[in-house]
Structure formats: structure tokens, C-alpha cells
Amino acid sequence: MPQIHLRAEAADYAPLVLIPGDPQRATAIAGKFDGGLAAVRPVNSHRALLGYTGKYKGVPVSVQASGMGAPSMAIVVEELLRLGARRLIRVGTCGGIGRGIETGEIVIAAGATPVDGATASYLHGDPYAPTADPGLTRALVEAAEKADLKPHVGQVATVDVFYNPDPDYAPKWRSRGVLAFEMESSVLFYLAARARAAGEDVSAATILTVSDVLSEKTTSEQSYMPLDQLDARIEKMIEVALEAGVAGMAG
């Protein structure tokens, strides 16, 4: 039956789903499917959570916008899993904090520190380390390298606050080996792990374009990439995610 937010039926989604936050990015991703937008099928528009289904290189694939933040991601992923999604790839942006990370580069999350409230709500305060699926993550790394990109692979932190004024915000997490801040991956990884623990064949991974960098000397506003340059970098990332997703389904 249709879900509360994703008003589609189970057959409307492919097992492979790319999940951007931005609904406009969802449309852009659908435009890269076989035959372009004219050949894809819109499957959801409720609350501007745009979703489409088509094929990429002959492999069924969907894209579903999640909105911003872990609570919205949690709703979308819960419903996607009920509708039959099994390979979930978050494609988004992040604020780089790792030493040497520059805007426009790629970060692939091996795990996501759960600093957000949504993951904490699921865990009831228990310690937990949400991690990405190693096979799907490896597919992302290999696809990025094949595209002549050199991804940073490691820990990200999922946070609730974009404009955080705390002076030790970036230094503290950098000193713990965190590469970037983002806002959705921890709950995605947790829900995928919960599904696996229940016996379902579910995996999740995250690939991110660094839109800005945070340091003791630089803020997000000062370092945010010009939008045309950011869009060009995101386009390359989307192609990497599609290639990795297709490879993951074949594997």
C-alpha cells in the first residue's frame, strides 16, 4: 500500500535507489537515466519529495529526494525499505574539515558519527557506530578512481546544525579523524543495518561533494563554492554513484 510520505506502491521503486537531499538534484539524476527525463516514470511528488524510476545502462534504478536532515532521511528510508528498496546510496554535499580536504573534492563515508538527534532517538542513548556497507563503499571508491577522482575515504559526522557557532566545532572533530560534516548518513546506515539484522538483503553507502570547508580561519559562508562550479562537481559525483550502483547490483 502507499506510504504516508512516499505515495507509491512497492513496484514503483527499483531495488537500487540514489538518495539526494535536494529534489532538484533528484530530477537532475533522473535526467541521466537511459532516455533522459522523457523515459523515466515519476513515482512521488508529495511534499516535494520527488522520486523517479527508470534504468541506467539497462539496470532498473530509482532516485528519491530525502529533504534536509536526519529526521527527514529517516522517514524516507523507512518507507523506501517497506517499498522494496535494497541498495541505498546517499549522494549529497558536505563541509570538509579533514586536513588537506578542499572544496570540490569527493568524500566517501566509511562510517558516520551519530551526532544527530534522529539516530539517538532510535538508539535510546546506547553507544553505536553506524557504518556503510563495505562492498557498496568499495564500488564507489573504484568508480571514483576510474573517473580520475581521488576520493577521501573515512569517517564523517552527521550533525543537526549547519551554522554552528562553537569555536571548537571543527577542531574537535578533526582531531578525532572526522573528514567532514553532513546531515543524513548516520540514520541511513543505522536503518540499513537494522534491516540486515532482521534478515533483509539491504546495504547503504554515502558519497559526498565537498561544498565548503570549515577551519579555525574559514567559515562555510566564506568558503562555499560558486554554484556553477559546485553543480559541475556534483554532476561528476552523480555519474560515479550511478556506475557504482549498477556495479553493486551486478555483484
Catalytic positions, written as ranges: 212
Residue whose C-alpha is closest to residue 89's, from 154, 10, 21: 21
Q: How far apart are CA 87 and CA 204, in angstroms?
A: 6
Is the distance from CB of 205 to CB of 87 less than 8 angstroms?
no
Output phi, psi for 223, to 5 deg. -105, -5
Q: How far apart are CA 14 and CA 249, in angstroms?
A: 11
Q: For residue 121, give the DSSP letter.
A: H
Is the distance from CB of 14 to CB of 63 less than 8 angstroms?
no
Strand partners, 158: 114, 182
Q: For residue 214, give the DSSP letter.
A: -
Q: How far apart are CA 47 and CA 50, in angstroms?
A: 8
Is the distance from CB of 90 to CB of 185 less than 8 angstroms?
yes
